[in-house]
Amino acid sequence: MEDNSRIIRTEYSEEMQKSFIDYAMSVIIARALPDVRDGLKPVQRRTLYDMHELGIRYDKPYRKSARIVGDTMGKYHPHGDSSIYDSLVVMSQDFKKGMPLIDGHGNFGNIEGDGAAAMRYTEARLQKVTQEAFLADLDKDVVDFMPNFDETEKEPTVLPVKIPNFLVNGSEGIAVGMATSTPPHNLGEVIDAMKAYMLDENITTRELMRYIKGPDFPTGGIVTNKDELLEIYETGTGKIKIRGKVEYEKSKGGKTNVVITEIPYPMIGMNISKFLLDVAALSESKKTQDIVDISNQSSKEGIRIVIELRKDADPENFVNLLYKKTRLEDTFGVNMLAIYNGRPETMGLKAVLKAVVDFQYEVATRKYTNLLAKEMDRKEVQEGLIKACNVIDLIIEILRGSKDRNMARDCLVNGKVDGIKFKSRESKIMATQLMFSEKQANAILEMRLYKLIGLEIEALINEHEETMANIYRYEDILARRDSMAQVIMNELEEIKREYGRKRRTAIENAEEAVYREKEIEEMEIMFLMDRFGYAKTIDMATYERNKDAADAENRYIFKCKNTGRVCLFTDIGQLHTIKVMDLPFGKFRDKGIPIDNVSNYSSDKEQIVFLTSQTELNLCQMLFVTAQSMMKVVDGGEFDVSKRTVAATKLQEGDRVVSIVCLHEQKQIVLQTKEGFFLRFAIEEIPEKKKGAVGVRGMKLGDKDNVESVYYIQNGVEASIPYKSRNLVLNGLKLGKRDSKGVKVRA
């Protein structure tokens, strides 16, 4: 059997590059980005067109969303039902779109992020504005149509939208290597700006902004960077800062409630619940102690988030904290990217209006050319009928004398009288002079007898006069750009009058939010941590009253300032700092909080070697000793850091810190090894180093030996330890030198 298949050899990288570019362009043009002319993505355009074709008008009953989705997918958009239904849902949500295009009936989701019900439960129909401003004139050949995916239907390449929908409803979409993000605007302002551009095409962006103040988000809010909007509209890119709207209400006991009535546009959906969690976290992390209660009282009437504050709280300062630490102040990234002349292009405000106005002129030209042609046809027929009424007796004679329709039509058009029986020779001569057109002859042959009534003839004459007026008007519109512009502007004004609404978003220049933390009265308190790692702080008086119990029950006890930090050194050479304010302050019998919970310290990976206050560290020198007998003295000021975790010392491989101490009256040090060697020498032999140094060797060790314990001796004070069932006096050990082997102590 002969194999007719061909194997095409090609460079793999070239094939991948070509295929990826084809895929990327398909996503960009046919999926993700809107056309600047109608402001619609293909899935949105197809959904609206399908609803138009199904006759689901604003004044007709709702139809099941599943019916619309199925029909759209089967005819125009074979990319899955979820993308079609998602776009239908979004086009019906008044909190996402400045001007919803679909009238949804049922659960179409809400501003708090709850999704729409399944498409089998919901119903939809077109909004009146969609029918009148988006889909009107489709029957007048005003836009091009193309075959659908299987070439069984025709679909419009663009809808004849009469308004700059790209600006009014905005758009968001992610393509391959690019994304579009255009904020919604106020319909009335956009129409005013479009009319201003039509009157003066040399108008500047700054002048256009007399009409378009800035974005108009359906959720309201306050745009706070008014002075930056000009550059954003010039370039089509930038960041819009937007805040929620806050009101203050007095409540019982002289308290003040902070009530959020409008949210930033990016907070739509699940970000509202995240905002509530963020506010609660501010209280839990002690960023603020002003919050008494928080509740979300939002309903169909609008957003209402109530935060109850303490009586002595500063509400304005608290709101500034919300602006800085939560999404109550957010940014909307603008990238006005759209398909223009078949290519993706980032467009400024003026460029968008130019594209839309050019499109309006193109649509109007095609519309009135089509209407003019129809009126010319009507005029021809009307003139034929009027002429026929004047010689109606002759025409009746021709019809009665003809054998068939063709013979009669030939006589009316070409004056052929062969075969036709006339009553008189004069009638035959007059018949040869009839010169009707084909359309006129057909109209005459199809004319009904009642049209010969006087009133009907009068109506025909009036209709002809109306047709002539229309022809004159259409010719004027097509001949003069000013006339066409006036027609377009009149339509825009009607749309603005019927569908325009007041601006929701305020535009202003707001100062950056500044939060002033409450000044805390600095005082000395006691830090306590038990052997289980639970830490707390108590005031000095409480400690003095419970001194014996506190000393017996806790492993670490020291003074610290309530505004300071606690420094925790571990055996792996790490320093963890903890804000004293993060520790619970209260009663002596309170349990406290695990030290792991307020620091980066992990008891599973490291052990505490030394714990003290930052204040104490700044006043002393620190002595470090490791298991491999590396030693150094470090100035405590080096550990005055703000980071939560830093390296306190440098360790050799396999080494760990055995002892850290603040040097005060200690004069000598005793190192004890696992093998039972002891070395006593003067602390002054240990050099001062930086915290990043390894240090010097303190004692010569055997191959498998290491330093196990470290002891410190003060002048004139006897120090002893229990060792192998006897009491070992450390002062009695032979005084040696650093970096010597020491002596072995036997039982």
Dihedral sign from CA coordinates of 702, 703, 705, 706: positive
H or E segment to which residue 550 belongs: helix 547-553
- More confident call, 92 vs 11: 92
Average pLDDT of the segment spanning 17-33: 68
Spatial distance between the Cα atoms of 190 and 642, rounded to a whole number of angstroms:
52
For the CA atoms of 727, 732, 734, 740, the dihedral, rounded to the nearest 10 degrees, stands at 50
Does the structure show a pLDDT above 90 at 258?
yes
User: CA nearest 622: which of 640, 604, 596, 607?
Assistant: 640
Which residues are bridge partners to 335 per DSSP? 181, 237
pLDDT, position 313:
85
pLDDT, position 286:
72
For the CA atoms of 142, 146, 149, 151, the dihedral, rounded to the nearest 10 degrees, stands at 120
pLDDT, position 1:
44
Average pLDDT of the segment spanning 240-246: 94
* Confidence band for 28, pLDDT divided at 50, 70 and 90: low
Place of tokens 């209280």: 283
| 631 in Cβ contact with 707 (< 8 Å) | no
pLDDT, position 73:
95
pLDDT, position 4:
60
H or E segment to which residue 329 belongs: strand 329-335
Place of tokens 């030290």: 595
Spatial distance between the Cα atoms of 72 and 43, rounded to a whole number of angstroms:
9
* Confidence band for 5, pLDDT divided at 50, 70 and 90: low
Alpha helix stretches (DSSP H) within 200-331 = 205-208, 229-235, 271-284, 315-325
Mean pLDDT over the full length of the chain: 89
The tens digit of pLDDT for each residue in 590-632 reads 888 899 988 999 988 899 999 999 888 888 999 999 999 999 9
Axis crossing angle, helix 481-499 with helix 349-390, rounded to the nearest 10: 110
Average pLDDT of the segment spanning 393-419: 83
Spatial distance between the Cα atoms of 601 and 595, rounded to a whole number of angstroms:
7
Does the structure show a pLDDT above 70 at 519?
no
Dihedral sign from CA coordinates of 56, 57, 59, 62: positive
Does the structure show a pLDDT above 90 at 416?
no
User: CA nearest 88: which of 61, 111, 106, 113?
Assistant: 106
The tens digit of pLDDT for each residue in 489-511 reads 999 999 999 999 999 999 998 88
Does the structure show a pLDDT above 70 at 747?
no
Could you give the C-alpha distances from 652 to 426, 539, 658, in angstroms and in order? 131, 42, 13
- More confident call, 15 vs 171: 171
| 556 in Cβ contact with 527 (< 8 Å) | yes
pLDDT, position 90:
94
* Confidence band for 425, pLDDT divided at 50, 70 and 90: confident
Does the structure show a pLDDT above 50 at 644?
yes
pLDDT, position 244:
93
Does the structure show a pLDDT above 80 at 449?
no
Six-digit token string for 145: 């149509």
Which amino acids are annotated catalytic?
A: 121
Q: In the chain, what percentage of residues exceed pLDDT 90?
A: 58
Does the structure show a pLDDT above 90 at 270?
no
| 119 in Cβ contact with 47 (< 8 Å) | no
pLDDT, position 289:
81
Average pLDDT of the segment spanning 105-128: 93
Does the structure show a pLDDT above 50 at 394?
yes
pLDDT, position 732:
87
Spatial distance between the Cα atoms of 169 and 105, rounded to a whole number of angstroms:
21
The tens digit of pLDDT for each residue in 695-742 reads 999 999 988 899 999 999 988 888 888 888 888 888 888 899 999 998
pLDDT, position 91:
95
Does the structure show a pLDDT above 90 at 52?
yes
Spatial distance between the Cα atoms of 350 and 500, rounded to a whole number of angstroms:
21
Does the structure show a pLDDT above 50 at 154?
yes
Does the structure show a pLDDT above 70 at 22?
no
Average pLDDT of the segment spanning 430-439: 84
Six-digit token string for 337: 């990217």
Dihedral sign from CA coordinates of 705, 711, 713, 718: negative
State which amino acid sits at residue 238.
Answer: G
Place of tokens 């899935």: 43
